[in-house]
Structure 1
Amino acid sequence: MARFGTGKHTPGKYIFLLSCIILLALVLLADFLWASSSSSSSSRSFPYRVLRPPSSSSFHYWSPYLDLSMALSAPDAKQSEGNSKGIKLSVKVLNATFADIPAPQLEWEEMPEAPVPRLDGAAIQIKDLFYVFAGYGTIDYVHSHVDIYNFKNNSWGGRFDMPREMANSHLGMATDGRYIYAVTGQYGPQCRSPTNRNFVLDTETKKWNELPPLPVPRYAPATQLWRGRLHVMGGSKEDRHEPGLDHWSLAVKDGMALEKEWTTEIPIPRGGPHRSCVVANDQLIVIGGQEGDFMAKPGSPIYKCSRRHEVQYADVYMLDDGKRWKQLPSMPLPNSHIEFAWVVVNNSIIVVGGTTLKHPITKKMILLGEVFQFNLDTLKWSVVGRMPFRVKTTLAAFWNGWLYFTSGQRDTGPDDPSPRKVVGSLYRTKLSL
């Protein structure tokens, strides 16, 4: 008899071992073919399966971005019965951050397209007129004019120029119903330097005046008029990447500054650009945003953009007494590039589109196509609809029961949420809350 460690093996033992291996392989092959058949037949009826969330704050999806290595290691991986033999398969689909939230598809009507496509532009609505400012046409070309959309006759017109010294993108902007205050921002294409110069437009005369400069330049700061003062906070610092926490205010009235210098206010708890800033119920509310952004490539003569790490967040803050920030319930998803993507309707803040955390596998930016509602009575977030496509830096308005949005950078397609084309499209939908 052969013994272990002697180096001798009988032919019978080899045959027995080989038979076991072949038998095991046949069992695994049959199981694989059965699972493939079941998966194939179910996917023909629907491209992916939505697993309904156990609560409003937690979602799980069967997604085109499924990653099995993450599935097996994820702490909240779901265990499900894989087949009739009782073998448990660990199936985890990505968190809702990386997939569309289930929402009704609103009926959108396409309206006359804007005269030019815009990315990172700005917009202000005053009654039945929608003023759309600046923005990138392409990464190498920026606009320096204003287009006006008339909601009554559904047409664009009345184009006029901005001051040459005024920023072309990443502006902060607010209005008192006649005067539009434009604060700091990026001057020029690619990833050029910011400016600290500020301007005010009289919408009745179309004349511009200059305001005192901000203490330092900022990219895309949260900006709003509140209690007679123009508030500017957050944004990115001069390198375009580092978040700023600074908060300044300036007393203004009828398009004029009542002070020569900006006053330092309580810093915002979390800095960064691309966030909504809203005044509602006499409260100053700041929504979403991100930390980090593209920077100019070192030594580039044209300030060519260089990617840097960035993190989007869902934080919501409120300043109700001017002395302290209070944190409110977070958005359903981290969201940025929403500085002009909001409106106030029936005591709710509506936010359309935006961009969330990058995909963990492809590292591509993920655009959002949800219409979010923040009810100011209940302080609860919900998703009330879906846009015709995912898009960031939308410019939103609300008129006579219609929710409008225009411009921005839209997705590659229904199955690919990464950004592609800069558009000037204008859409509207009836919105009843």
Structure 2
Amino acid sequence: MTSTIGRPSTKTLRLASARRRVRAFLDQIAELENADFPHPDGKEALALLKREFELRQRSLGRIPDTVSDATVDEVCADTSIFLERYTDILGFILRSTNVRNAFEVHFPLKRLIQRVIGEEAKLIMSSEWNFVPFTWPMNLDVLGDFVLVGGPAPESGNVLIIPLAGHEIGHSAWRQADIALKITPRLIAAIAQAIANRPDDRDRLTSQLARDGHDLSWLEHQCFASAAKQLEEIFCDMFALYVFGPSFAFAYEYFLAPGKSNRSVTYPSSLNRVRYLLDGVRELKFAVDDDLFANWQDSSLRVGIAGDILLFADDAVEAMFPMVRDLAFDILKRSSVPMCRDAAVDRVRGALTIGIPDGDGATLAEIVTAGWLHLRGKGGLSTETDQPELGMLNELMLKSVEVSEYRLRLGHA
């Protein structure tokens, strides 16, 4: 049995571990500071993280030996939580410097979030090992003004998937505009009506729930939670559709065709989501191929209590959809976010066809929509021999974005 005489206490060693971990984090920041940041937002985020962790380092260094074990444990737990939260962000910032990212689209996307969210909003775009793009919600204490949008690493340089970032930015717009709060009274009523409209299902389910100690209010709460998350996803789809026009529908189909996802209680079914998307297309008077979502397959059915919750939640979502769609469109109209112009799309497509960038100043949405129409008109450009043409298309779109940015800054666009 090992003697404990003269050995440092658990409290001392645990506090030393916390100090080492914070120091290691700061050492990593010091390495990243030497990276080339294509846009200043990434550098600013790194500086904010450095300042926060230096504060923590000083706080840990000032803790006296006389402090209680319970206090040290609390400090160490808080440090671990903070490190866990921001280690991912540090990696995200590092990957934002990768030259494979489409840096040219940063400025038009940043203008979008500043119009919709606020002038102080910052943007960091990065590649991630996720299948589809995602965003960190704007609830990071240290980076409260930052929108972080991650795209799948294999597609990091593909301009055609940029419209999916519109959906992710929509999540930040949802929070910034307090849409959840605005729809809550109507959604509560819609849930109650959905349950009342299915009395046989309601009675069957409440009888079953009673055996588990639940009542009708529990069912209403679960339905509300499901419907609210579904409506947020629909809001983000409408947001992206307004901003990016038909290119969002094309990018959506590219990633998720032909549907058939596993049904989640937080997302509309695969068929319903496409149906809502096409409703938005008609409302905005965009033109997409009639067969774009042909033979789209529905999500797998959920069984058990989750399936029963979706039975009512989906009905409430259906009733609420027009309100949520119009809220998304109204936010963007009030923010003077331009819509895709058919004439500009046709002009850019003509330039791409003859192998030159557009020189007259088009929006990012118009350039990407033209790119999708060109790609689809060429049969998808998927063979080995098509790769040079596909690469050229991507470069021409990026160059068109650069030209548009140049004209905008000179006041010509």
Q: TM-score, normalised by structure 1?
A: 0.24
Structure number with bigger Rg? 1
Higher helix share: 2
Higher strand share: 1
Q: TM-score, normalised by structure 2?
A: 0.25
Which one scores higher on RCO, CA 8 angstroms, separation ≥ 6? 2
